[in-house]
Structure 1
């Protein structure tokens, strides 16, 4: 059974509403603040991007379904702040110690935001061995779509692709493996591929069977077809 967050390709949820070009960037003012808090706390260096994603996926199923997009973000940040010991639950309630925090010097200043965003957090790493697959090779996504290192852990292999057969389009070199990095088990970089799947391979009743879907998948997610 997959976690509730793995909604890709699920039937019956209705069409995706992309909004209109002139819609505001943030529907409510607090959405911008939620994004700012997420970036600022991430700059403290107490967790990585994969841990952040895993925190959102680990919200209680009822909360994950009921929360809006930025409610998920800010709730995950609160969980991370407490689980990593940066803050306590009392701190979040405004009842904590007002003394200077040990991480205060790492606070992200407003004037540093643009450079920090421009720098990003590259996940590519040097290749230490030749990739197992080449463009054109047929591969099958592992089934089930699950973290092989941590039971119930984070993975970027979507459930709808599990067991599906596709072909390698290209290799992007070695990238940090989310399944390991999300659980502080090391970066464990491995080759990352763009894999092409036909719509008919993924969906029982595709609207356009000849359409193709591309997914970026790590080498350990794949096996020869």
Structure 2
């Protein structure tokens, strides 16, 4: 079963239409939403994978109706409450207690450095099973095998399809584990090319490919 965010290849949502010269933040509060999310993430209480899963786990009606930054704020509120950093009463407008991790708060002068460092996921891990040129099949169904209904980076539209390994990226943090505080469990990550016609039933041009980065446990060999 997939969540509402897994929209690749779905009809009915309309075209993606870029806005020319669109500003980075459409509304003043969008800037604050990003700043608050960065500051809270710097507390070290969750990973980027956990943050992604929390956004994906929003109620479908909310996910479908919320704007981009509304999703960020709603998920952040859920994470803060789940990790015991704020209470539901505080979020509802009650008195705010002294924050237990206030000494770890991200200062304004440290933001640029934090953004430039990012969250590197490359780790020491097992040697890769596959090599460039190998044919592989993406696991079907596309689900988290560790946590029922959990986070996965295997898109549903690729599940069951055959692709070709183009590149081995080394071992990286496994999001299916890391999103649920089960450890980083690094495993080999590959760039896999899929024929666009195989995935969608048609393509704009013959030979068009879709490149997807997939972890080793998402894949099985094809003779």
Q: TM-score, normalised by structure 1?
A: 0.96
Q: Equivalent residue of 2:191, what SS? A: strand
C-alpha separation between the residues in 2 aligned to 1:84 and 1:130? 35
Matched-pair contact (CA < 8 Å) for 1:175–1:192: yes
* 1:105 counterpart residue number: 103
Q: Structure 1 residue 205: deviation in Å?
A: 2.7
Q: TM-score, normalised by structure 2?
A: 0.96
Pick from 117, 120, 140: which aligns with 1:119? 117
Query: CA deviation digits over 1:51-102, x for unaligned, max 9?
Result: 000000000010000101110001000000001100001111231344x321
> Aligned ranges for residues 65-76 of structure 1 at < 5 Å?
65-76=64-75
Matched-pair contact (CA < 8 Å) for 1:198–1:209: no
Pick from 150, 159, 162: which aligns with 1:162? 159
> Aligned ranges for residues 14-93 of structure 1 at < 5 Å?
14-20=14-20, 22-93=21-92
C-alpha separation between the residues in 2 aligned to 1:78 and 1:89? 9
> Aligned ranges for residues 112-151 of structure 1 at < 5 Å?
112-127=110-125, 129-151=126-148
Query: CA deviation digits over 1:31-63, x for unaligned, max 9?
Result: 111111110000011111000000000000100
Matched-pair contact (CA < 8 Å) for 1:88–1:96: no
Q: Structure 1 residue 24: deviation in Å?
A: 1.2
* 2:193 counterpart residue number: 196
Structure 2: unaligned runs, 5 residues or longer: none
Dislocated runs of 4+, deviation >4 Å = none
Q: Equivalent residue of 1:125, what SS? A: coil
Q: Equivalent residue of 1:196, what SS? A: strand
Q: Structure 1 residue 13: deviation in Å?
A: 1.7
C-alpha separation between the residues in 2 aligned to 1:221 and 1:96? 46
